Amino acid sequence: MKPGMHSLKGRLFFWSLLITSSLLIILGYVLHSEIKRAILHSVELTLHSKIQILKGLMHEEHGAIELELAEIVSGEYSVPRSGHYYKVLLQNEIFAASPSLIDEDFNLEAGELQSSNEQLNEKVYLSEGPANEPIMAVRHDFFILDQAATAYAAQSLEESIALINTFKHVLFIIIPASIGILTLTGLWISRKSMKPLENFSSTIEKITHKTMNERIPPELQVSEVKNITNSFNAMLDRLQSAFETEKRLVADASHELKTPLSVINAQCDVLLQDDNKDGKYGHALNRIKAASKSMNRLIGDMLSLTRLDSGLLSAADFTVVSLNECIDNALKFTEFSARERQIKIIKNIPRDINILADRDMLTEVFLNVIENGIKYNRVNGSVEITAAQNADSAEVAVKDTGEGIMEKDLERIFDRFYRADTSRGKEGTGLGLSIAKAIVETHGGQIKVKSEPGNGSCFVMTLPTV
* Per-residue pLDDT tens digits for 215-229: 777 776 767 677 778
* Per-residue pLDDT tens digits for 89-106: 888 888 888 777 765 567
Instruction: Report, as an integer, the average pLDDT of 167-185.
Output: 86
Is 50 exceeded by the pLDDT of residue 391? yes
Of 290-294, 328-332, 392-396, the poorest mean pLDDT is in 290-294
Q: How many CA atoms lie within 13 A of 10 on its CB side?
A: 7
Instruction: Report, as an integer, the average pLDDT of 370-392.
Output: 88
Q: Say what the pLDDT of residue 125 is.
A: 93
Is 90 exceeded by the pLDDT of residue 124? yes
* Per-residue pLDDT tens digits for 276-293: 555 566 666 666 766 666
Q: Say what the pLDDT of residue 259 is.
A: 64
Q: Which residue in 365, 379, 376, 378 sits closest to 424, CA to CA?
A: 376
Q: Say what the pLDDT of residue 136 is.
A: 92
- Rounded distance, CA 313 to CA 359, Å? 11
Of 1-10, 190-199, 437-446, the poorest mean pLDDT is in 1-10
Answer for the pair 362, 443: CB distance below 8 angstroms, yes or no: yes
Answer for the pair 319, 360: CB distance below 8 angstroms, yes or no: no
Of 298-302, 358-362, 406-410, the poorest mean pLDDT is in 298-302
- Rounded distance, CA 369 to CA 380, Å? 18
Q: What are phi and psi of 312, to 5 degrees?
A: -70, -25
Average pLDDT for the chain: 78
Is 60 exceeded by the pLDDT of residue 83? yes
Q: Say what the pLDDT of residue 389 is.
A: 86
Q: Say what the pLDDT of residue 356 is.
A: 86
Instruction: Report, as an integer, the average pLDDT of 226-246.
Output: 76
Q: Say what the pLDDT of residue 42 is.
A: 92
Answer for the pair 111, 96: CB distance below 8 angstroms, yes or no: no
Q: What are phi and psi of 60, to 5 degrees?
A: -85, 135
More confident residue, 13 or 261: 13
Percent residues over pLDDT 90 in the chain: 10
Give the SS3 label for residue 138: strand
Is 90 exceeded by the pLDDT of residue 139? yes
Number of CB atoms found within 10 A of residue 281's CB: 14
Tallying the residues shown for the chain, one arrives at 466
- Rounded distance, CA 129 to CA 458, Å? 91
Confidence band for 254, pLDDT divided at 50, 70 and 90: low
* Per-residue pLDDT tens digits for 334-351: 888 888 888 999 988 878
- Rounded distance, CA 376 to CA 12, Å? 54
* Per-residue pLDDT tens digits for 27-44: 989 998 999 899 999 999
Confidence band for 45, pLDDT divided at 50, 70 and 90: very high
Is 80 exceeded by the pLDDT of residue 21? yes
Is 50 exceeded by the pLDDT of residue 1? no
Percent residues over pLDDT 70 in the chain: 71
Confidence band for 256, pLDDT divided at 50, 70 and 90: low
142 Cβ partners below 8 Å, 6+ apart?
55, 121, 149, 150, 151
Q: What are phi and psi of 234, to 5 degrees?
A: -65, -40
H or E element at residue 84: strand 84-90
Helical segments of 207-354, H only: 223-275, 282-309, 323-340
Confidence band for 385, pLDDT divided at 50, 70 and 90: very high
Answer for the pair 60, 66: CB distance below 8 angstroms, yes or no: yes
Q: Say what the pLDDT of residue 73 is.
A: 46
Q: What are phi and psi of 431, to 5 degrees?
A: -115, -10
Q: Say what the pLDDT of residue 438 is.
A: 84
Q: Which residue in 227, 45, 57 sits closest to 138, CA to CA?
A: 45
Confidence band for 421, pLDDT divided at 50, 70 and 90: low
Classify burial at 223, counting beta carbons within 10 Å of its beta carbon; exposed 0-12, middle 13-18, buried 19 or more: exposed
- Rounded distance, CA 139 to CA 151, Å? 6
Confidence band for 14, pLDDT divided at 50, 70 and 90: confident
Residues 429-464, buried b or exposed e (16+ Cβ, 10 A)?
bbbbbbbbbbbbebbebebebebeeeebbbbbbbbe
What are the C-alpha distances in Å from 280 to residues 274, 285, 292?
A: 10, 10, 20
Answer for the pair 86, 154: CB distance below 8 angstroms, yes or no: yes
